[in-house]
Amino acid sequence: MGPGTRQDVVRGAVGRLGEWVAELRWSDVPAEVRERVLTVLVDAVAVTALGSREPAQRALVEQWDAPDGTAPLFGTGRAVAVDAAAWLNATASVRLELDDGHRLAGGHPAAHGFPAVLALASRAATTGADLCSALLAAYEVAARFGRATRLRAGTHPHGNWGVAGAGAGCARVLGLGPEDAAVAIDAASGLPVAGPFSAALDGNPVRDAWVGAANQSGLAAARLAAARTGHLTGIAADSLGDLLGVLNPAALHDGLGERWEVVGGYFKQHSSCSFTHAAIDAALSLRDQVDEDSAEVLVEIHSLGAQLDRTRWPTPLAAMFSLPFVVATALRRGHVVPADLSQEALADAVTAELARRVVVRSAPDLDARMPAERPVRVTVDSARGRVVAERPNPVGDADFQAFTADDRVRVLSDLLGAPEAVEAVRDHVAELPSAPDAGELLRSLGSAIRFR
């Protein structure tokens, strides 16, 4: 298939997405999907507020010197300009690796579009129902681009395929028609970040900035389309499908409006990379059967997770991407939560010594079970004998002990240490579909959860 033909196919697929986004109506969406979108929104706001408490995020907000505006910075009590809120809320949402994700898309659809959509809706004249449609559009388009894209080895998924979702959601907020919505999605897919996965392993926070860039790029793409200065070319065929990897255009629209990606996502309970979660779950199940002082730990995992074998963690991000650190922390402390990423926790000598006794190894039999599973097997030899635990997927995955809306509120309440704030967020979000003015409700939501 020649380049021109390939672009034609992608252009056609993006055109179908644009039509779907423009015609999407919240009242036509199945009840299960509507409930899931609202749960994802509760999660996104609470996790963003949690990230806003981190010293690094506070320092970033201070240096940004954002002008006052209409868009809430969740967790801070402030409202700032649209573009600033899109970037800063996005980085806060991924700061602690607690944002929801989608295993088959291979990343985080909501984080790539929700901050931009919410920021834009705080200023644009839109109803709550239309905002809900925009959030759903952002998620579905991003997840479809994620499923359609096979990134080159060593490429991190932050900031590339997810940009299309931000463009789609912002186009829906602006009320663009089918052709212009397609232009927005197309332009967004031509604005990817080519970020190396090594940044996460090294603990370089630029990885978080890629999600901020994705949200701002989605805003830019939608504005370009609204200004009628764009041109639909199927650029993703070259940007995602050549420069950054391989793109399957059929996956962009397969089952569109019938298979809802948002119900296939996962929620997190551990503050770490999703590749580590099944290992943490397994380690926690063995904790009472292990002598920590003599423990020798083998983590057998699929090849995607095997690269997370670093035994040094210069930053919290590096720790969240270290299987030795998180498994040692789980065995020692019984959890992996934001407090376990403090400077004191990262410098803990006992954790470091135990982590040096954690061996990470890829296992062909576990690789063979992907992508339906992301399995792990943890074996611990200690003075109390050998114990083994295996998990097919992390707890909270759509296909393994999935969290309900109530489960998620419980977990978020524990993580935030503020159940009343999470309940307030849930109450505000429940009102969104019937709200006549989404911007007014969002500003009220911004005041409902504040930590400084």
278 inside domain: yes
245 inside domain: yes
Q: Within this chain, do residues 372 and 412 fall inside the same structural domain, yes or no?
A: no
89 inside domain: yes
Q: What span, in angstroms and rounded, lies between the C-alpha atoms of 444 and 425?
A: 10
Q: What span, in angstroms and rounded, lies between the C-alpha atoms of 442 and 130?
A: 13
* Two structure tokens written together for 14: 């993006």
Q: Within this chain, do residues 44 and 181 fall inside the same structural domain, yes or no?
A: yes
Q: Do residues 74 and 88 touch, judged by C-beta distance below 8 A?
A: no
Rounded to 5 degrees, φ, ψ at 80 are -130, 180
Q: Within this chain, do residues 348 and 423 fall inside the same structural domain, yes or no?
A: no
Q: Which of 360, 391, 422 is the last residue of a domain?
A: 391
Nearest to 105 by CA among 53, 47, 165, 65: 165
Q: Do residues 338 and 92 touch, judged by C-beta distance below 8 A?
A: no
CATH number, domain containing residue 376: 3.30.1330.120
Q: Within this chain, do residues 292 and 355 fall inside the same structural domain, yes or no?
A: yes
Q: What span, in angstroms and rounded, lies between the C-alpha atoms of 110 and 268?
A: 13
Q: Within this chain, do residues 296 and 373 fall inside the same structural domain, yes or no?
A: yes
Q: Please confirm whether the linkage preceding 371 is cis (ω < 30° from 0).
A: yes
CATH number, domain containing residue 180: 1.10.4100.10
Q: Do residues 75 and 92 touch, judged by C-beta distance below 8 A?
A: yes
pTM: 0.96
Q: Within this chain, do residues 55 and 191 fall inside the same structural domain, yes or no?
A: yes
Mean pLDDT by 10 residues, the chain (452 residues): 76 98 98 98 97 96 95 96 98 98 97 98 94 98 98 97 98 98 98 97 97 98 97 97 97 95 97 98 97 96 96 97 98 97 96 98 96 95 97 94 94 94 95 96 89 65
68 inside domain: yes
Nearest to 60 by CA among 89, 103, 22, 102: 89
Residue that is written with structure tokens 């309970």 in the block? 269
Q: Within this chain, do residues 214 and 327 fall inside the same structural domain, yes or no?
A: no
340 inside domain: yes
Task: Give me the pLDDT at residue 452, please.
Answer: 58
Task: With H, G, I as helix, E, B as strand and everything else as coil, classify residue 177.
Answer: coil
Q: Within this chain, do residues 264 and 278 fall inside the same structural domain, yes or no?
A: no
Q: Within this chain, do residues 7 and 29 fall inside the same structural domain, yes or no?
A: yes
Distance set, CA 196 to CA 201, 244, 357, 425 (Å): 10, 11, 28, 35
397 inside domain: no
Q: How far apart are the first and last CA of the chain?
A: 56
E strand or H helix that includes residue 268: none
* Two structure tokens written together for 278: 């099944």
Q: Within this chain, do residues 103 and 207 fall inside the same structural domain, yes or no?
A: yes
Number of domains in the chain: 2
Q: What span, in angstroms and rounded, lies between the C-alpha atoms of 267 and 278?
A: 13
Task: Give me the pLDDT at residue 2, please.
Answer: 46
Task: Give me the pLDDT at residue 1, please.
Answer: 43
Helix-, strand-, coil-residue percentages of the chain, each rounded to 5: 60, 10, 30
Q: What span, in angstroms and rounded, lies between the C-alpha atoms of 293 and 442?
A: 50
Q: What span, in angstroms and rounded, lies between the C-alpha atoms of 92 and 47?
A: 8
Instruction: Tell which phi-psi region holds residue 175, choosing left (phi > 0), alpha (psi between -120 and 50) or beta.
Output: left
Q: What span, in angstroms and rounded, lies between the C-alpha atoms of 105 and 150?
A: 9
- What is the torsional sign of CA 36, 141, 133, 257? negative
Nearest to 134 by CA among 187, 192, 184, 75: 184
Q: Within this chain, do residues 234 and 114 fall inside the same structural domain, yes or no?
A: yes
336 inside domain: yes
Nearest to 46 by CA among 334, 269, 208: 269
Which residue range(s) make up the domain with 324? 274-391
Strand 358-362 relative to strand 296-301: parallel, antiparallel, unpaired?
A: parallel
Q: Within this chain, do residues 318 and 247 fall inside the same structural domain, yes or no?
A: no
396 inside domain: no
